[in-house]
């Protein structure tokens, strides 16, 4: 009978307990159970590795789709700007021909509006009081410092254990 990953882990813990309790004397039942576990474990790891590969492929596919959608959004934003410029051209021509600044229809009214916005021509010339900076920890530098034996306040080197597949 094929066991789930959780069942295999539970069985391993049970077997370890039984082996400790037997104090070196292994009975046939325990030996058979260990042999079965050793046979099932590599198959389960193979299945887990395959699932992990599929999930990674899905992640890569989603990243690609995110990029495609972002590119499409940017394209549509540019289209909105182009269409807005066409509308402005029509309104300006209408004003020049008729002297009227508005065009009214039953479902909309259109007019030329003047707004103000900030345009940056030389970012380096902007005084620091008008700059926003974002800071984040430099994990690479922190890691090198911690590995070199020095302390970094608020940081620690943590060892993580994980499964690797080739």
Whether the pLDDT of residue 84 is over 70: the answer is yes
Backbone angles phi, psi at 124, to 5 degrees: -70, -20
CB atoms within 10 A of CB 57: 10
User: Quick one: pLDDT at residue 22?
Assistant: 85
User: Quick one: pLDDT at residue 59?
Assistant: 96
Spatial contact of 157 and 147, defined as CB atoms under 8 Å apart: yes
How would residue 161 be classed by pLDDT, with cut points 50, 70 and 90? confident
Q: What is the DSSP letter of 124?
A: G
Of 131, 156, 138, 137, nearest to 146 (Cα)?
156
User: Quick one: pLDDT at residue 153?
Assistant: 94
Spatial contact of 103 and 109, defined as CB atoms under 8 Å apart: yes
pLDDT single digits (tens) 33-76: 999 999 999 989 999 999 999 999 999 999 999 999 999 999 99
Judged by DSSP in three states, 63 sits in: helix
User: Quick one: pLDDT at residue 13?
Assistant: 92
Whether the pLDDT of residue 28 is over 70: the answer is yes
Mean of pLDDT values over 119-142 = 93
User: Quick one: pLDDT at residue 1?
Assistant: 63
- Distance separating alpha carbons of residues 85 and 50, to the nearest angstrom: 53
pTM assigned to the model: 0.57
Q: What is the DSSP letter of 104?
A: E
Q: Which helix (H) or strand (E) holds 109?
A: strand 109-111
Judged by DSSP in three states, 110 sits in: strand
Judged by DSSP in three states, 36 sits in: helix
Mean of pLDDT values over 94-116 = 93
């Amino acid at each position: 009978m094929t066991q789930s990953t959780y069942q295999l882990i539970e069985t391993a813990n049970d077997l370890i307990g039984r082996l400790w309790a037997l104090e070196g004397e292994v009975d046939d039942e325990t030996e058979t159970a260990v042999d079965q576990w050793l046979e099932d474990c590599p198959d389960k790891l193979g299945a887990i590795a395959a699932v992990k590969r599929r999930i990674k492929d899905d992640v890569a596919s989603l990243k690609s789709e995110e990029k495609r959608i972002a590119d499409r959004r940017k394209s549509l934003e540019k289209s909105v700007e182009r269409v807005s410029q066409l509308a402005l051209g029509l309104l300006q021509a209408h004003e020049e021909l008729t002297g009227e600044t508005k065009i009214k229809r039953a479902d909309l009214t259109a007019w030329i509006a003047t707004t103000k916005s900030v345009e940056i021509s030389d970012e380096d010339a902007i005084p620091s009081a008008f700059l926003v900076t974002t800071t984040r920890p430099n994990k690479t530098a922190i890691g090198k410092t911690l590995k070199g034996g020095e302390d970094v306040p608020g940081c620690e080197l943590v060892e993580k254990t994980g499964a690797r597949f080739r």
